Amino acid sequence: MRPFPFLSRPAAPASLLALAVGGCLCAAAAPASAQSCQFLSPVGGNGVTPIITKTIGPGNPFGRPNWNTDFFVTQPYSSYKFFFTANSSDPNAQYPVQGYMKFSDGSNLEVINTQMSPPIGTGRMFGPFPAVPGKQASQMNFKVGASDDPNALGFSYRISVQGCN
């Protein structure tokens, strides 16, 4: 039995080339096989695109704020990638970006916690973040902006998440 039965295909052979160079043993790894990644569907999305566009607004005391977005994990993956692109930017504002892996047991793991001042149209990939052994991922969560950062209000962005094997 393979140690990670949820992987959809066997891992690439771990062939190593050992070289003796001046009394030093050096190893060069063989190239790894390419990952196969799929976009995850956003919770509450329109079913047409896995890419969500949002504008940071003030927190809503009567409902959920718009800066928190979940993406469904419908099958096991070996890693996850988070994608962020700025649609607008204020050069004087710092935009808090957080990402979480959410698990079926109700726990979560923060994988992104950074401040950004991205130029318009600039994107960034976060990850890949490996799956957590012994945990079943249920959702990936992207949070951009916060109610305690008034300078981030009005900032527009695009986000998406991929699961990879």
pLDDT of residue 55: 75
Does some domain include residue 23?
no
pLDDT of residue 20: 31
Taking only the tens place, the pLDDT of each residue in 100-153 is 999 999 999 999 999 887 777 788 999 999 999 999 999 999 988 755 556 666
Whole-number Å distance between alpha carbons of 134 and 19: 37
Q: Residue 116 is part of which domain span? A: 36-164
Does some domain include residue 84?
yes
Instruction: Decide: helix, strand or coil at residue 150.
Output: helix
**Domain total for the chain?**
1
Does some domain include residue 10?
no
Does some domain include residue 12?
no
Does some domain include residue 128?
yes
pLDDT of residue 52: 83
Does some domain include residue 21?
no
Q: What are 92's two structure tokens?
A: 């004087």
CATH number of the domain enclosing 95: 2.60.120.260
Q: What are 82's two structure tokens?
A: 């988070």
